[in-house]
Chain A
Amino acid sequence: MSKYSLDYLDHLESEAIHIFREVAGQFERPALLFSGGKDSITLVQLALKAFRPGKFPFPLVHIDTGHNFPEALKYRDELAEKIGEKLIVRNVEDTIKSKNLTEPKGKFASRNALQTFTLLDTIEEFGFDACIGGARRDEEKARAKERIFSVRDEFGQWDPKLQRPELWNTYNGRITKGENVRVFPISNWTELDVWNYIRREKIELPSIYFSHEREVIDHEGQLVAVSDFIKLDAADKVLKKNVRYRTVGDMTCTAAVESHASNIDDIISEITATKTSERGETRIDDKVSEAAMEDRKKNGYF
């Protein structure tokens, strides 16, 4: 290896920084959608590298479903404080009240779909023209088709058949008023790439990513945390297990995995050995249908 060779993580990092700066150069009111999950935490690290010693040219925006893990919310507030950047929080609860939305019913009533309403309202409220998110193409096969600069119409809809060609590293972010662009700087990263980067950069994560004891129920092979947000049936047995989370979404639609991995090295070994995909193992919301993600994205979901 010559001294001018780069590790694959350096390639991915430089590509992501380049994308961040294109957003800063092309848009007037961008926002970084921040959930407190590892992918958006990685985005913050990349934004620090892209813009320091300057400030971020965008606020962090969190669409809070009200069903989040308290550990993730605590992490969110502490991070925003530590880096001294603006954090905007908008609550799905408020949208439900103001718009008279119907809450989904059922055992794992998830506000995942309602999130889209709050997101679109927030985009309108602040006039955001670009929203940066931590989606990756390896997560799901509809995402594998999405551009890095993904144009949404004024209803937030994605049209997979009318995507702009995206050539070289040239990003076309021109839009008509009312449209907005979703930008995915870590499109080309895999789950393992993110973990390896977190290890290399020594990034701190919310505690739920590491093994801890938690009360869960076993739902068709998936471990769901007992919380105020799910309804227990008589048949449910509450179990105490050592678990960690592979992804952090809502408490209602994210499942835990049994694990004793208490540090990043152990997590990376587990992920390297696993035979189930990240979404397959932990997301209850993708199992609805073969095109669940494609349909949600068409409707304005991230």
Chain B
Amino acid sequence: MDLLRFITAGSVDDGKSTLIGRLLYDSKSIMIDQLEAIEKQSKNKEQGEIDLALLTDGLRAEREQGITIDVAYKYFSTPKRKFIIADAPGHIQYTRNMVTGASTADLAIILVDARNGVVEQTRRHSIIASLLNIPHVVVAINKMDLVNYSQDIYNNIVIDYADVAKSLGLKDVTYIPISAVFGDNIVEKSPKLAWYEGPSLLHLLESVEVDKDTNLTDPRFPVQYVIRPQTDDLHDYRGYAGKVISGIYRKGDAVTVLPSGRTSKIQKIEHNGIEVDEVFAPQSAILHLEDDIDISRGDVIAKSDNLPKTTQELDVVLCWMDNKPLTTGSKYLLQINSRVVKSVIKEIEYKLDVNTLQKMDATAASLNDVIKVKIKTASPIPYDSYNDLRENGGAILIDETSHVTVGACMIQ
């Protein structure tokens, strides 16, 4: 049994909550007491309707206003897979929350209302999915019951969306006609949509190949913590604890420590307290090197024949997440995995219209803006291009005085 993380973005109007409710309910992940609790609160209870949004909207303010404000994480499993849903709000004023939910997703479900087809929100969600480089996209064309399960309408939406997918370079796009309210094509294939030849949504979620998304070719190991017991029997023990974020490491591999550039060989690998010959992404491990060289938290151990870039000048697509605006010359801490360095915004190249992908001139960025910037760091950082290796190309900006996370960087 493996693991799939996916994001659903949208508002109640799109049927997002109904869809999640369906998946949870039909996979028996909603318990009786939880159902009773939402039944009590459902406003339409006299009509016998249960408001499934109440299941996902966890905060008092969200229930009061009937909107999703923040990302909520939901869990269900089938005999084949464990699923983690990042349930994110869909409105433009919550773009940063969607970016947050999308950052760890293997797959995005883009909801399209069959009555409205591809609209501004569809484009925005797709643009975010492409910016965050989510490997798989499922376009769920919902509310098919309201268009008489029409194949023509479905086909036209597929044609329209194919243009969006092409312009954004989305790699793996699958289309499914569904009705979340009636459960059509959610768990079981619906006879009302007999013309549709693909799998049901759940079947698709169970069968998407996610193993292939793990990069096993570019070994990167950010050091988190140095283990030195300094006891009598472990006097010389010095292990570098961290997670293999990509690639495979084997005993004897020639490695380079970045940013210093010092080289050595892997002497010993420990995984869960046992000595092993190799470790691979995304396992946590302890590496030992043959030479006693200076390595500390935030350094990256890479294989000498496959190095990341190490520079102080970064081209970055940035989603701004703070109420205070970002301007040229502002200084922030930049954190990439376990490495934190000072940085300065050198230049704002343009602002991206997240509805149209148009580039616009800009001198500042405000909350939820997506902009292209040049950043200079105080010392070199080892990184890969986000689009090549998500695990080593994403960084956050931190306000030095409030300590708040203010920006999400996709390094180009």
Stretch at the interface among A15-23, A210-218, A259-267: A15-23
> Quick check: B243 and A144 within 8 Å, CB to CB?
no
Across the two chains, which residue of chain B brings its CB closest to A2?
A: B211
Q: In the complex, are the beta carbons of B104 and A280 less than 8 A apart?
A: no
Contact B96 A4 (CB under 8 A): no
Q: Are B394 and A168 in contact (CB under 8 A)?
A: yes
B398 engages A11 (CB within 8 Å):
no
B:69-83 near A, CB below 8 Å:
69-75, 77, 81-82
Q: Does B234 sit at the interface, judged by CB under 8 A?
A: yes
In the complex, whether A277 has a CB less than 8 A from a CB of chain B is yes
* Contact assessment for B390 and A10 in the assembled complex, using a CB-CB cutoff below 8 Å: no
Measured in the bound complex, the distance between the Cα atoms of B228 and A2 in whole Å is: 34
Question: Please, how many angstroms separate the alpha-carbon atoms of A167 and B33 in the complex?
Answer: 32
- The answer for the CA separation of A17 and B338 in the assembled complex, in Å, is 14
Give bound CA distance, A260 to B103, whole Å.
Answer: 44
B61 CB, nearest partner CB in chain A, Å = 7
Bound state CA distance, A218 and B34, in angstroms?
A: 21
Q: Does B182 contact A (CB under 8 A)?
A: no
Taken residue by residue from 176 to 200, chain A's Cβ proximity to chain B (1 for < 8 Å, 0 otherwise) reads as 1000000000011010110000000
- The answer for the CA separation of A11 and B3 in the assembled complex, in Å, is 8
The answer to whether A161 and B69 have CB atoms under 8 Å apart is yes
Which residues of chain B have C-beta atoms less than 8 A from A57's C-beta? 225
Shortest CB–CB separation between residue A117 and chain B, in angstroms? 24
Q: A145-B59, A277-B33 are in contact. Are A167 and B211 (CB under 8 A)?
A: no
Which residues of A lie under 8 Å from residue B84 when comparing CB positions? Answer: 188
Q: 0/1 per residue, B40-70, Cβ < 8 Å to A? A: 0100000000000001111111010000011
Q: Are B103 and A18 within 8 A (Cβ)?
A: no
B396 and A50 contacting across the interface, CB-CB below 8 Å: no
Q: Could you say which residues of chain A place their CB within 8 Å of the CB of B99?
A: 165, 167
List the A residue with the shortest CB-CB distance to B283. Answer: A14
Instruction: Please give, as numbers and ranges, the residues of chain B lying within 8 Å of A7 by CB-CB distance.
Output: 1-2
A138:B75 contact, CB within 8 angstroms = yes
Chain B residues, Cβ within 8 Å of A50:
241, 284
Q: Are B282 and A14 in contact (CB under 8 A)?
A: yes
A21-B337 contact given A8-B81, A145-B59, CB 8 Å threshold: no
Restricting to A262-302, which residues have a CB under 8 Å from any CB of B? 274-277, 280-281, 290-291, 294
The answer to whether B329 has its CB under 8 Å from any CB of chain A is no
What 0/1 pattern do residues 11 to 45 of A give for CB contact below 8 A with B? Answer: 11111011001101100000000000000000000
Interface: A142 (CB within 8 A): yes
The verdict on B97 contacting chain A, using a C-beta distance below 8 Å, is: yes
Query: In the complex, are the beta carbons of B224 and A170 less than 8 A apart?
Result: no
Cross-chain pair count, CB within 8 angstroms: 177
Q: A160-B59, A291-B60 are in contact. Are A25 and B225 (CB under 8 A)?
A: yes
CA of A104 to CA of B241, assembled, Å: 46
Q: Of B31, B32, B284, which contacts A17 at CB under 8 A?
A: B284
Whether A166 pairs with B100 at a CB distance below 8 angstroms is: yes
Residues of B within 8 A of A192 (CB): 77
B31–A274 CB distance below 8 A: yes
CB distance from A118 to the nearest CB of B (A): 26
Report the minimal beta-carbon distance from B144 to chain A, rounded to whole angstroms.
29
Which of A1, A15, A17, A167 is the most central at the interface, judged by chain B CB atoms within 10 Å of its CB? A167
Chain B, 356-412, CB within 8 A of any chain A CB: 390-391, 394-396, 398, 403-405, 408
Bound-state Cα–Cα, A163 to B58, Å: 14
Identify 11 new A-B residue pairs, CB closer than 8 A, beyond the known A12-B3, A21-B225, A55-B229. A8-B1, A48-B273, A53-B234, A144-B72, A161-B69, A165-B96, A167-B405, A169-B104, A174-B398, A276-B31, A290-B63
**What would 27 A/B residue contacts be, using CB atoms closer than 8 Å?**
A1-B211, A2-B211, A4-B248, A6-B2, A10-B283, A11-B3, A18-B243, A21-B241, A21-B243, A21-B284, A25-B297, A55-B229, A141-B58, A144-B56, A161-B61, A164-B405, A165-B97, A167-B394, A167-B396, A167-B405, A167-B408, A169-B104, A170-B396, A174-B403, A187-B73, A277-B34, A290-B63
* B interface residues with partner A (beta carbon < 8 Å): 1-3, 31-34, 37, 41, 55-61, 63, 69-75, 77, 81-82, 84, 96-97, 99-100, 103-104, 211, 214, 216, 224-225, 227-229, 234, 237, 239, 241-243, 245, 248, 272-273, 280, 282-284, 297, 321, 333, 335-338, 390-391, 394-396, 398, 403-405, 408
